[in-house]
Amino acid sequence: MRSSSLFTALLAFCLVPVAVVEVSQRVHADLVVPAPIAPMPMPFLRAGDPTVIPGVATPKQYMISQIEGTVTYRAFNPCSTADVRIKTVKALEPVTTEPTQYPGVLAVTSKTETVDKYSGTRYGRGAETMGSTVNPNGGYGRLVSIMIVPVPGYAGYAGGDVSNMTCEFEIQYGRSG
């Protein structure tokens, strides 16, 4: 093999040719130029302290504050034996609330939509960053409905029974991520 042919073969191997055509003892390659690497997303920038919302086996509704200008949130489920289902809900009558032991969280006592074991977003153990939707109720008070459900296929904790558990789900609004 001549040195120019060897060089062309190495070049063709390194640059991943789409097609190789031999014309009068020279090798020509139509090469694919790889796309530039996509930019990395910005890291999640926290906006204030996280909000802790208690999740139990039956749906409960709470009012939490969404900080102005936040478009994403990081959710953290600390429970290894239960998944959390949560969704933003609409009020079905004028909203009434009462305090809870959790800072920034009010229990909603008026009628609202609710989450069930088939609706909302399901969070397994760990953290996840999601985009935030526009608050359907307007303003900063977001109504959420939350409940816990057994981890699929998990028979360890009382056969998957979550009826006596409380999972303190954490949500933190921020930007990007």
93: CATH: 2.60.120
Q: Express each pLDDT in 138-168 by its tens digit.
A: 778 899 999 999 988 765 555 578 889 999 9
73 and 6, same domain (yes or no): no
Q: Are 95 and 176 in contact (CB under 8 A)?
A: no
Mean pLDDT in the chain?
79
**Residues 68, 155: one domain?**
yes
Band (pLDDT 50/70/90 cuts) for residue 106 is very high
Domain count, the chain: 2
Q: Is the pLDDT of residue 31 over 80?
A: no
Same domain as 52, residue 30 = no
Q: What is the mean pLDDT of residues 53-72?
A: 90
Place of tokens 């608050």: 135
Kindly state whether residues 29 and 63 are assigned to the same domain.
no
> Looking at the predicted structure, is the pLDDT value of residue 5 above 50?
yes
On whether residue 40 sits in a domain, the answer given is no
Residue 83 near residue 150, CB atoms below 8 Å: yes
Domain extent, residue 14, equals 1-34
Residue 94 gets the label, from left (phi > 0), alpha (psi -120 to 50) or beta, of beta
Do residues 52 and 26 share a domain? Answer: no
CA geometry: angle at 57 spanning 55 and 58, to 5°?
Answer: 95
